[in-house]
Amino acid sequence: MRRSSSYFQHTARRAAAGASGFTAIELMVTIAILGVLIALAAPSFASIIESWRVRQAVEDLQSTLYFARSEAIRRGGKVVIQKINNGTNGCNTATAKTDWDCGWFVCEDTNDNGKCAASEPVLRSVSAPRNTQVTRTGGADTIKLNRWGLVDGTWLGFSLVPYGKSTTHTGARGLCMSSAGRIRIISPEEIPCTSG
């Protein structure tokens, strides 16, 4: 029995001596290769994220327009969509009346003046995704809807682009709504909306 137990001990020692993991050099080379691959993929991934943010903002705006139209029909008009003011929730990019970068909200315009007062009920509020420019084409900081759920005035349009980029960016989109209420999403080549 001694022989067999020493045999197993010898075999265990040989296996332990022959067992190997990663050396420091192998680990460093692997990390360097991963770093190069990540550096190559990062710029294209950033563009994808920018496009996703714009897409989310377009879908949120489109959803808000449909919601506001249905509420205007239900309430006999007196519904307004208004931009969220600059400086709200840490957003400081919506400095002009046509900049809707901070988001928007829908209110019941109880006094029918075309603006949302603090005392009027907010029906829905949407914060725009960060680093997304939402610019209204024509018009200003409010959109009034009549009792038929149509824009009270001319058609409206929005240009939505990644912050700091132009409307020619591949992720840019336009949202156009005709005076009859039809909503279209347009590609960068068609921005800005020239009609509903």
65, 186, 82: which is closest to 139 by C-alpha? 82
Residue 172's pLDDT band, with cuts at 50, 70 and 90, is very high
Amino acid present at 165: K
In a domain, 35, yes or no: no
DSSP state letter for 151: B
In a domain, 32, yes or no: no
Question: Does the pLDDT at position 64 exceed 90?
Answer: yes
In a domain, 28, yes or no: no
In a domain, 22, yes or no: no
Q: Are 185 and 153 in contact (CB under 8 A)?
A: no
In a domain, 58, yes or no: yes
Q: Give me the domain span that covers residue 89.
A: 46-190
Nearest-angstrom CA–CA distance, 190 and 102: 24
Lowest mean pLDDT among 36-45, 156-165, 172-181, 184-193: 36-45
Q: Residue 128 CA to chain centroid, in angstroms?
A: 6
In a domain, 6, yes or no: no
What is the tally of structural domains in the chain?
Answer: 1
Question: Does the pLDDT at position 40 exceed 90?
Answer: no
Per-residue pLDDT tens over the stretch 47-59? 888 889 999 999 9
Domain with residue 97: its CATH number is: 3.55.40.10
In a domain, 7, yes or no: no
Per-residue pLDDT tens over the stretch 68-96? 999 999 999 999 999 999 888 888 888 88
In a domain, 175, yes or no: yes
Per-residue pLDDT tens over the stretch 106-132? 999 999 898 999 999 999 999 999 899
Query: What is the SS3 assignment for 67?
Result: helix
